[in-house]
């Protein structure tokens, strides 16, 4: 059975989508932007700080659904500029230091709200 996951500890969806959906012991987390959940705004200006906020948002959703970073099997990283890859990667490896998930990373033309990084995540039990 499909379960919609929502938490006030991550930013509310800015469109017609859910923060996350769980089905068959697999959690699909929508792309997380570096939006602070209390202000509803992107407060940081560097790729590193934005990546930290993205991971805080992902952590909140994982926790709300009863998962941890150890359950993550796939990440997709979207960058507004590929030159931000190294900074994003420095933060990323703090959350995944062993048994890392599969990952793709892309530079895209633009991200919503002028973000520098967005990460979508899949976790499984």
Q: Where are the domains of the chain?
A: 3-124
Cβ atoms of 74 and 121 closer than 8 Å: yes
Q: Per-residue pLDDT for the chain (125 aa), expressed as one digit of tens each?
A: 999 999 999 999 889 999 999 999 999 999 999 999 999 999 999 999 999 999 999 999 999 999 999 999 999 999 999 999 999 999 999 999 889 999 999 999 999 999 999 999 999 99
The C-alpha atoms of residue 7 and residue 30 are separated, in whole angstroms, by 13
pTM of the model: 0.96
Give the HSE-up count for residue 22: Cα atoms under 13 Å, Cβ half-sphere.
18
Give the HSE-up count for residue 55: Cα atoms under 13 Å, Cβ half-sphere.
18
Write out the two tokens for 105.
């990373």
Instruction: Tell me the fold of 3-124.
Output: 60s Ribosomal Protein L30; Chain: A; (3.30.1330)
């Amino acid at each position: 059975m499909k379960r919609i996951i929502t938490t006030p500890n991550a930013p509310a969806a800015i469109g017609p989508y859910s923060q996350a959906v769980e089905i068959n012991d697999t959690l699909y987390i929508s792309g997380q932007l570096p939006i602070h959940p209390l202000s509803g705004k992107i407060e940081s200006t560097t790729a590193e700080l934005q990546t930290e906020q993205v991971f805080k948002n992902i952590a909140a959703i994982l926790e709300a659904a009863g998962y941890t970073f150890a359950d993550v099997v796939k990440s997709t990283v979207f960058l507004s500029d590929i030159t931000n890859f190294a900074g994003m990667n420095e933060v990323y490896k703090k959350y995944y230091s062993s048994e890392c998930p599969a990952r793709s990373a892309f530079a895209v033309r633009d991200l919503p709200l002028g973000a520098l990084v967005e990460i979508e995540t899949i976790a499984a039990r």
